[in-house]
């Protein structure tokens, strides 16, 4: 049965130095450190790689993060994969659970997360299934 939860999260992004030799690609790399609140009570760590363009409002990013904590009180971890673009100010974002990444009580987890930023605060929606 598909389940739907919502909540808030706090995030800390830390810029990282470019890998040697890749500086000319003009890619930005950051670590992610998140704390999810609500029915997903968890901490995550991850990395993000982003590229801007010469056109204002256009960019792309990819990220992977491992989320560890509880989902509706069930302990375990899982991995989220982000793919996002901004096309002249219009965003498109996909954040999905990596297949077979769930552990412990979250083994078999599938789903997709939405992210919304309102007045500088971060919110998530999470539509998922557990066996």
Classify residue 124: in a domain, yes or no. no
Confidence (pLDDT) at 19: 86
pLDDT in tens, 7-26: 999 999 999 998 888 888 88
Classify residue 82: in a domain, yes or no. yes
Residue 34 is part of which domain span? 27-112
Torsion of CA 16, 95, 129, 3, to 10 degrees: 110
Burial 4-26 (b: 16+ CB within 10 A, else e): ebebebeeeeeeeeeeeeeeeee
pLDDT in tens, 73-127: 999 999 999 999 999 999 999 999 999 999 999 999 999 999 999 999 999 999 9
Confidence (pLDDT) at 23: 84
pTM of the full structure: 0.95
Averaged pLDDT score across all residues of the chain: 96
DSSP 3-state helix, strand, coil percentages of the chain (rounded to 5)?
A: 5, 70, 25
pLDDT in tens, 24-56: 888 999 999 999 999 999 999 999 999 999 999
Confidence (pLDDT) at 11: 98
Confidence (pLDDT) at 21: 87
Q: What is the CATH number of the domain that holds 70?
A: 2.40.350.10
Classify residue 11: in a domain, yes or no. no
């Amino acid at each position: 049965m598909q389940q739907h939860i919502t909540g808030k999260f706090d995030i800390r992004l830390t810029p990282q130095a470019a890998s040697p030799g890749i500086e000319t690609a003009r890619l930005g790399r950051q670590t992610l450190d998140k704390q999810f609140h609500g029915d997903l009570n968890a901490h995550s760590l991850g990395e993000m790689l982003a590229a801007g363009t010469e056109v204002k409002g256009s960019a792309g990013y990819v990220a992977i993060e491992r989320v560890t904590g509880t989902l509706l009180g069930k302990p375990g971890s899982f991995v989220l994969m982000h793919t996002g673009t901004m096309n002249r100010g219009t965003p498109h974002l996909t954040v999905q659970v990596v297949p077979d990444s769930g552990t412990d009580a979250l083994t078999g987890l599938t789903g997709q997360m939405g992210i919304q930023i309102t007045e500088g605060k971060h919110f998530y929606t999470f539509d998922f299934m557990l066996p």
